[in-house]
Amino acid sequence: MQSVMAKKNVSEILRKKGISVTTQRIEILKYLMQTKTHPTVEDIYLQIHSTFASLSRATVYNTVMAFKEVGLVQEITIEKEKARYDGNFEAHPHFFCRTCQKVYDLGAEVKLTYPHEKYKVESEQIYLYGVCEYCR
C-alpha cells in the first residue's frame, strides 16, 4: 500500500546521509528509489522535468554524483555510451539485453567469490550480457 515513498521519509534519508535537503534532491531520490529501470541522467531529467519544470540537467548530474558519494545510488556502466543509476545500493548483478537494451536486476543466485589479497576491494559490479526472456 505504500506505493510511492513519502517526501518526509526521503528527506530523512538525505538528512541522515549528512547532505543538505533540496526539492530537487528529494524528487530525484524518490524517483530512483521507486523505479527499477536503471535510468540515465537524461531519463531522470525528462521524467522529473515533466512535472517540475525548473529542474536542470546540471543538477541531475550534480545530484547523482552526490548520491553516489554518500552511498545512495550505484553507478551502472554496463554500456559504454552512458551511465545508469540504481537506487538500490545493495550489491547485485545486472543483465543487459542487447536486443531491447534494457538492464535487469539479478539476485543472489549469482555469486562472486574472491580472496582479498593485493587489492582492497571497496565495491564491485557484475554485468552479464545476452538476450532477455522477452526478446527471445
The binder of 19, among DNA, a copy of itself, none, by C-beta within 5 to 8 A per type, is DNA
Closest CA to 46 of 61, 35, 37, 56: 56
Number of other residues whose CB lies within 10 A of the CB of residue 102: 13
Instruction: Write each residue from 81 to 100 as x if it is in contact with a copy of itself (CB under 8 A), else as -, in one continuous string.
Output: -xx---------x-x--x--
Residues 131, 98: Cα–Cα separation, whole Å:
6
Neighbours of 54 (CB within 10 A): 8
Does 115 interact with a copy of itself (rule: CB under 8 A)?
yes
77: enclosing H helix or E strand: none
Binding residues for DNA, per CB under 7 A? 15, 19-25, 40-42, 54-59, 61-63, 65-66, 80-83
Binding residues for a copy of itself, per CB under 8 A? 75, 77-80, 82-83, 93, 95, 98, 104, 106, 109-115, 117-133, 136
